[in-house]
Amino acid sequence: MLHTPNLLKLTSNLSNLSRINGKLRDVCAHLVEISQYLLGNALALGLTRDDDTLHDDRIRLWNEFNRAWLVTLQRQLDMTEDMIRTAQPPQEPHSIISSQALERLIRELVKLCDSVEEHGLVDYQMGVAEEEIMDLLLRCLSLLDPVNARNVEAAPLIPAPAAAGRLR
């Protein structure tokens, strides 16, 4: 079970992550790592059980988790729009997430959400705001790679092996 100090530390890490500005490739890597840990261990961490004593901490955790994703992707969208408008890449130390990395993020998000959906941790108050995050991911991808973004949007979001040919 996830104890309050661990939950608060993870929440703090997510909060700090959403404040990082500039090197989105680095932020993205940390965000995926945290997401894999949190969602990959949701059952072991006790996030799938109701516990009134931890309710507020869990709400804060999920809010920070979703905020970290959404802030990072909104920065990606803004920086990409600026790059297109000015025809200039971001100036160092700033960087954006490549279209290939965005595709990997989409696949990873779908996989992680599929793993916790049965526990009610997708698109609810407690859990991953998959729909909002996916919308921003697709908007970011459509700026960098419009053709592939349409292919990704058209692909059904079903788990492998039924979707073995999807996004590979």
Q: What is the pLDDT of residue 4?
A: 45
Any idea of the CA torsion for 153, 87, 93, 22, to the nearest 10 degrees?
Answer: -40
In a 13 Å sphere around the CA of 119, the CA atoms on its Cβ side amount to 21
The domain limits of the chain are: 4-152
CB 57 within 8 Å of CB 8:
yes
C-alpha span between 114 and 166 (Å, rounded): 15
- Write down the residue that tokens 């996830």 correspond to: 2
- pLDDT profile of the chain (168 residues), mean per 10: 53 62 78 90 86 87 91 92 92 86 94 92 90 96 82 55 34
pLDDT score of 50: 82
pLDDT of the residue at 158: 41
Please state whether 157 falls in left (phi above 0), alpha (psi between -120 and 50) or beta.
Answer: beta
- Answer for the pair 113, 162: CB distance below 8 angstroms, yes or no: no
pLDDT at 155: 60
Are the C-beta atoms of 83 and 90 separated by less than 8 Å?
Answer: yes
Can you give the pLDDT at residue 165?
35
At 52 the pLDDT is: 87
Is residue 159 within 8 Å of residue 111, measured between CB atoms?
Answer: yes
